Amino acid sequence: RVHPRILRTSPSHWHGLAPQKAQQTTAPREMVLCSEGMVPVKVGFVGAGMMAGAMIRGLVSSKTCPADCVIASDAYQPCVDGLAEELGITSGGSNKDVALFADLIVLAVKPQMVEDVCADIKGSGTNPLVVSIAAGVTIESLEGWLGSSARVVRVMPNTPCLVGELAAAYAPNAACSAADAATVGSLLGALGTAFKVKEADLDAVTGLSGSGPAYVFQFIEALSDGGVRAGLTRPIATALAAKTVRGAATMVLQTGKHPGELKDQVTSPGGTTITGVHALEQGGMRAAVMNAVLAATARSRELGKK
């Protein structure tokens, strides 16, 4: 069992950091994720729920960040203590602990809590790179709460991060350097796949990959239902459906071929597959999926204006 690291001392005891005066802004140092001969970036998480926990586990297990370079805080302390005991990360007692420790802070709290967390970070007198995964919270809002010179990156992750298959996009603000953006890209890349985009595109990312897992779960459920209706048991039908979706997705990613081309390869003239594809077209599946992405994108834009 790994013993947790608990912050119960003054800042001067944390990795040799000297105490910092309140409101004193520190210059950002160049950060690198774990690399031989280099000082690794220290990553802090405000919020230690399911998504943050998955990210922390991925960073530590992939050796992207050593456990002693990760700290977390949460309003529900048992969440943090559990991660500290499991992984050996540092358990922070407050958001200020995280701000004083970390070079990069991930905001993994509910959107309505972000403003208060930003106030704690700003009040610490530090200048970390702030990465927000809070849905609907814009870069403009984050800059307003942290200060116009704050380095901010907005990220839209998705739940497959929980199994090491993150599909995400991120948008840095103007204050971020190329190195800052690369650091965030490397951090997210350790958890799956991430693309750098303009902030305006994050609503579409939300509608596609952010909400997409729910669409896929619904499709898997429908495939399974079809199998049961055709006479299969539920466990066999669900396993076949899930493995089929996983295998098809892997083929798209590994072959680089257009999905339509792969579809054509298994639809022989007058065969069973083209008959099934025809039924899907009659049911409007393609339009329904496109409309789902557009509806979720529109809702994301609405939430961002509130």
Distance, in Å, from the CA atom of 44 to the CA atom of 98, rounded to the nearest integer, reads 6
The SS3 assignment for 46 reads strand
Instruction: Give the phi and the psi of residue 53 in degrees, each rounded to 5.
Output: -60, -40
Distance CA 252, CA 261 (A): 10
State the pLDDT confidence band at 33, using cuts at 50, 70 and 90.
low
The pLDDT of residue 24 is above 90? no
CA–CA separation, 191 vs 62, rounded Å?
A: 8
Residue 72 phi, psi (nearest 5)? -145, 150
Q: What is the pLDDT of residues 231-251, one digit of tens each?
A: 999 999 999 999 999 999 999
Taking only the tens place, the pLDDT of each residue in 256-287 is 999 999 999 999 999 999 999 999 999 999 99
Name 90's bridge partners: 5, 71
Band of the pLDDT at 163, cuts 50, 70, 90? very high
**Residue 172 Cα distances to 83, 181, 216, 240, angstroms:** 28, 6, 29, 40
Neighbours of 301 (CB within 10 A): 16
Residues 187-206: what's their mean pLDDT? 96
Closest by CA to 86, choosing from 188, 190, 5, is 5
Worst-scoring range by mean pLDDT, 3-12, 173-182, 191-200, 263-272? 3-12
- Is the pLDDT assigned to residue 220 strictly greater than 50? yes
Question: What pTM value is reported for the model?
Answer: 0.84
Helices assigned H by DSSP within 198-271 = 202-205, 212-229, 234-255, 259-265
Contact 294, 209 (CB under 8 A): no
For residue 232, the number of C-alpha atoms closer than 13 Å in the C-beta half-sphere is 14
Spatial distance between the Cα atoms of 174 and 171, rounded to a whole number of angstroms:
10
